[in-house]
Structure 1
Amino acid sequence: MGVTWLLVSAFAVAQAPANDACSAAIVLTETSVITGDLTGATSDQALQDCVSLPNEDGVWYKISPTSDKQLIFLIGTDLQEDDYQLSLFSGPDCDNLTCELDYSGFDPNYINNTLLAWDATAGNDYYLHVAQVAGGSAPNEFELRVEILDYQVNDDCSGAIAVTEGSYSVTLKGSTHTDDYDSCGSAYESDSPDIYYTFTPTESGSYSATVVSVFGQLEKLVTVYSGDCENLTCINGGSYNGGQYYDATAEWDATAGTKYTILLHADAADGYGNFVFTLEQNPPTTNDDCASATVITPGSYRGSTATATPTENIDCDDLGEGNDHWYAFTAPDNAEYNITTNSLYTTFDTQLILLSGDCANPTCEDDNDDYGNNYYSRIDFTATQGVTYYFVVIPFDEDVSGNYELTLNRAEVPMNDDCASASDITYNSTVRGSTFGATASAALTDCEDADDNDAPDAWYRFQPTTSGTAVASLVDQFTDYYTALTVYEGTDCNSLTCIAGVEEVFSIVEFSELSFDFTEGTTYYIVVHGEDDDEFGNYQLYLGEPIDRNQPQTLPNTTSGPVLVMETGRYYSTISAAVAAVPEGVARTIIVESGTYPETVNFGTKLIQLKIVEASPPAGN
């Protein structure tokens, strides 16, 4: 008797998206955010390849502007640099399409996203095809942000907006490229969209026009002209100056009553990013050389090298010879000191030189180029009573100048230098301190991800009256070194048990953060220390409930520095000039939305976007 086998095979076939075909394109009528899914998408075999991109499986959208508009399409996800391709066609119907533009991969305006912009003509139908790049890592689900923009009034020189000294949040969205300018200073000609402003100073002097990124890694350019639009004469131009925020500055000597035209643009044809434009008169320089060095004591000092000049032949390790500022300090005692430019007020890549002696024959003691995030500088030194030391702030790039903050610190042993003298801290509270001058504690042991090392430390004691979960966080602008956190429990300092430990968890900045469960009546010790033996500095410690920073919030501008916003301690983004270019005390509103930005560390499923919605723009912009 034979046996008959019946083989049954079942296949699950994904259903194609509703807008899989051009003829079923989803109609876009206004600025919006649309979620899409490429699961089951197919290719239109009759569709031609568009410029450089092959025809891949994708979905379709259609837009028919009733007036001349600029179309901005931004696509991406929150977790990675994705590989989507956007192709734009025009035509009366899907059988008669003409390829206009395509784009794929990384976009410098918005990290991890792909952007396509097109100047649309009223009455034309446009079709957008969204697909994955073959072999790329883009997920099927995506978020498409669509902006349908009127053109800015200052899109060309004839519509230039008159401004006064101040700061303005601006964008190159809604602008086009003009052909009536050439390279000027270090600002080179590009195919970027551009916008125009005019400025007529009321007094003569040295002025600066600066552009600083809000998001992305797009390099900006700024150019200053004299004359009317038909006869613009180059005065000076600035390009990316090597700073952290892709900023550029153009400086010039202005005459009262003379009108100047200022052109803002980028280095790329697709440079539609947002940035802050600041126009200000440069303060006079009084400490431009050793003889006029500003005498200081421990504290912080702000300045600008915009009107400074370089000092030649500083014999100290062949550091650059850019515009520099000098400070003098006579040590009142034998003690440990340090100087640093580590501040959010500092806008350029700095170098520091430490000299001693007199101006006629100074002795090089030390120098430093990079410390911390590689843009700031720091020198630690042992001062001898009665000796005069000179500190020179100098740019890494000799063609660059900008704002800086120099801080001179004296080492002080903190009151909470060891476990026995730990300071009390309560739930939902914040304290500030410094480990400069502190000693390393023998009681500190390896604890989870925090290693036992000889870094100076500071101790806090937490004695909860309830049970729950706490977050210990050093996430703050005040924290200025590579930190570590350790939490112990115990009845006394001789019987400590490791609860949690972590070294800096955000790889580009120095912040540390951890969470732990606590029990009523138990004593906990929280230790702030350095990631390595030689790490010490200022810190701000928060202990309490997790903060949901992924909510709309208003952050006061109490200092002239950028805003740092965190979402539940897991994501961060420094917004270079969202506040930095605004006068002190001026409030700015920051809205937190989903999105991705530069220098973001991924620890979860969602990143944050900071959007400036109150910007004090000039009229008509």
Structure 2
Amino acid sequence: MEHCFGRYYFYSSYEPPKNDKCISSTKLTIDEHIESTLAGATVDIILSDCRFHRSGKGVWYKIAGTGSTLVLSIRDNNEAFVGVSLSVYMGVESCDNLQCVSTIDIASYSIVGESSTSWESEEGVLYHIYVTENHSGSLATSDHRLEMFTLKLYELIVPDNDSCTDAINITTLDGGVIQATTENSTSDFSDGNPCVDETYESLAPRGVWYRMRGNGTFLRATICSEGTIDTRISVYSGDCNALECVANGTYVRGSCDAVTWQAEIDATYYLFIFSTDTKLDLFNLTMMEFISPSNMNCAGANAPMFPNNQVIHGSTIASIYDGEPECLSEGWKSPGLWYVVLGTGDTIRAETCSNITNFDTEISLYRGICGVSLECLGGNDDSCNDVTSAIQWKSMPGVLYYLKIHGHGPKSVGDFGLTFSSLLTPMNDNCLGATEISTGMSIAGSTLGATVDDNIPVCALDSHLFPGIWYKVQGNGKAITVSTCSSGTETSTSIAVYTGSCDSLLCLTGGGYDYGCLEDKLAATATFYATNEMDYYILVLSEDGFGGDIELHTQELNSVVENDFCQTAAEIVVDGNDTTGSLDIATAGGFYPNATCEYSYDGSGLWYKVIGNGEAVRASICSSSSSLSFDLSVSVFRGSSCESLNCITVGSAVDSSDCVDSRWRSTAGETYYMLVQGIGDSSELGKFSLSIESIRAPIVVPDN
């Protein structure tokens, strides 16, 4: 047999296999494995609605239905993974009027090269199976390629507890392990699962069932799968014909899920362990009972303790919500445990940063009288890492402080390790104690023992959540850069810069992570214009919540362009004439968080100012770079000084135009500030022209 493909010829001496046509299908038996090939097969044209049916060459098999679920798997044995398809039809021996039942496809790019399909077979009904190439007519599927495959057929044996009515009874609550699997399980919720949340409600979860009788205590069921984390657990009450959701599992860690509920005496509960996707795994199930802890409310808090660095082991598994709102995430209504610590006059640190902690914790800090007048002093979530928390505060000698350790959500419970420690408070822990520095110097400090300043304006990233230390520098009429990028910095930091006074601070700018720092740490850098003889307060924050040594250095910034900052804005007039500028030589030091317009950008910019004439005015800006076009924005502000700006309007142009304008009604004699920026990253730089003109309404001449 000769085949021509372009200028190449391929020769084949293969005869068509016996099962080349549907009417000559090879009979399969249950649990049979067949290794075969498509070599020599021809095209068998049939009408079909199977999605992966091809008009390419193929071979046929048949099986009589058994009344059970049949599973048919196929593996592409070709080293190059040519790709094969498999379709299952229901029909008769004559192959007339075949109806598609199921179909799968193994594409040529498949790495595993194996897949399976299943269907509920009817007893005595004949099913035809067609194995075909999945790239008909191409050079890759001509007879010179031997499409080898392995076919396996078996009955699906479902677990004994596949349905609620066949649930296995659990009698021991001692933490013993029950080993089982969700493999071959089916869905037991034709009308929808009353307990599975909306994340999984459309997935028709497949699983196995257990039941138990309540004894009046708190019960906790934990499952840990040996594969995917997508194995979950839900608890129901009632009977199998009318189940009511009691609780859903809450992801613990790794590949484990757990659920806790208060079981009524003699009530029957059903546990459904299921997979949320096609991965069906082996799992270990443990059941334990718990007695409610005495300190699950404020009144039951332990006797006052001193910070002693000892780890306290606690568990919220058998706790219930006590009605006291959380400090950080009010509304969680999360179960928790209460502790009370005696103030020492120094900084106290409470943390759940322990290997014992196995759920997402939060810490709420209070002062006052339980059940009468508790005052929230602060809270923390994820200060140490993704799930553990820490909080520091300046304590007063002899004062009782209450702490509630709870979860990040109403279902988040588990074990935790709690430690109280006492730290010496830095002298510059608050604004009034700020250490005075000058430009051109470096100074060492430490955020260990520092506390959170939660009554200051938010300036840097979460500046109201993390502990920090204060510095003060006096302006000299030049731009100043402050940075913790130094070999002496051993902790993750951010920087906030304020003006005003300690009792009335105003955010000037914030310094986030300085990714250009070569010290291989999360250092921070901030740049601002320092007006001559004005005081500036610098807050260095410990972003990791732990604290550590830092080194802060300051230096003057010699700007290449004069109007890099608001304070040195270039003055222009309302005359319609063009003023040229270039963002190529601008810095990012002109950004003022308190002056942010809705669409202004944290990027390089130049500042201008204009005196209002009492008319409507328009500021127009156009890109004038000869080599490229870039996107621009112009933000307009008013204010008595650069430290107290308020946004009026902003205009921006992206892609569609090289020009943009901003319009506003000016007040005669009032000063307006304009910030011209490139939109996007540092590549959005170039030359531009700026003009300001009055907008006068047209004169309407009435008809005679």
- Shorter-chain TM-score bucket reads 0.3 to 0.5
Q: Give the TM-score, by structure 2 length.
A: 0.42
Task: State the structure with bigger RCO (CA 8 A, min sep 6), 1 or 2.
Answer: 1
Q: Which has the larger radius of gyration?
A: 2
Q: Give the TM-score, by structure 1 length.
A: 0.47
